[in-house]
Structure 1
């Protein structure tokens, strides 16, 4: 087996995976090209959350938490569904392609889009960006492609 894929630190596998995939992470976190050909992929959302929490803890700066907007459509023909599917229940749902209710990020955090926003700009599922600024309802990020760095600022309204 290739030694590059063996987890050497079994007592802390998350740090071992991060350090192997992103060596000298803090020294390179401002270099967009550093992120263009690296990614950690996991089969479970719980593992992804552990890696994300670990890497976020490495970054300097203030962490912000954004919450999802979960509710049943008012246009549903059956208004009783709103009582069955409470906001609290909707906030607990997770699954493939569906992020957790809480999004924790800092300026400098690399992120990956989970849905198509604007295909003509390359902002589609799997596109990678780096957070450059955060406001109450807007996240601004620089788009990083596999081939070049695009000085594009994405401002996306969050509910």
Structure 2
């Protein structure tokens, strides 16, 4: 794993922490996990204080072991951002009406696949998002990071 050294002292600290983990010099708790010195609350505070700076945000990512942890952290951050939450729900049905008994809507809504949005996406203007489908090949591609500009009933307007 490589950490790019920028003019930011936190990257040097992070690099040293990674080396310590790799060398086995960092203590492991009773569950066998490495406990990093930053808490979720301090991470959220750091993100909220700098989320308007899109250049800073575009150079960072939060790495966690489980998708459920990502979802929980995203929801906490989303709730603390200014503005109203707008909910977008998926529409999940079967094509063959006779199969509706075997696959109820609640079953589809409970499924959570990596790379797919959740059944109930809650968003705010100014939030960063990632494009999941290539809509405009010369300009946009899968994985492009965007910032929400406007939330409408069936459309999300965002800028690169």
Q: TM-score, normalised by structure 2?
A: 0.69
Q: Which has the higher contact order (CA 8 A, sep 6+)?
A: 1
Q: Which has the higher helix share?
A: 2
What is the aligned partner in structure 2 of residue 42 from structure 1? 64
Q: Would the alpha carbon gap of residues 14 and 117 (structure 1) be closer, same or farther in structure 2, given more than 3 Å must change?
A: farther
CA–CA separation in structure 2 for the residues paired with 1:42 and 1:81: 37
Figure out how many residues of one structure are paired with residues of the other and give that number. Answer: 131
Gap runs ≥5 in structure 1? 144-159
Greater shift in the superposed pair: 128-137 or 38-47: 38-47
Deviation at 1:33, TM superposition (A): 1.4
1:57 is aligned, of 79, 82, 86, to 79
2:135 corresponds to 1:121: no
Gap runs ≥5 in structure 2? 1-14, 22-34
Greater shift in the superposed pair: 88-97 or 108-117: 108-117
Q: TM-score, normalised by structure 1?
A: 0.70
2:115 corresponds to 1:97: yes
Give every structure 1 segment of 4 or more consecutive aligned residues whose post-TM-superposition deviation is greater than 6 Å. Answer: none
CA–CA separation in structure 2 for the residues paired with 1:45 and 1:102: 15
Q: Which has the higher strand share?
A: 1
CA–CA separation in structure 2 for the residues paired with 1:110 and 1:52: 10
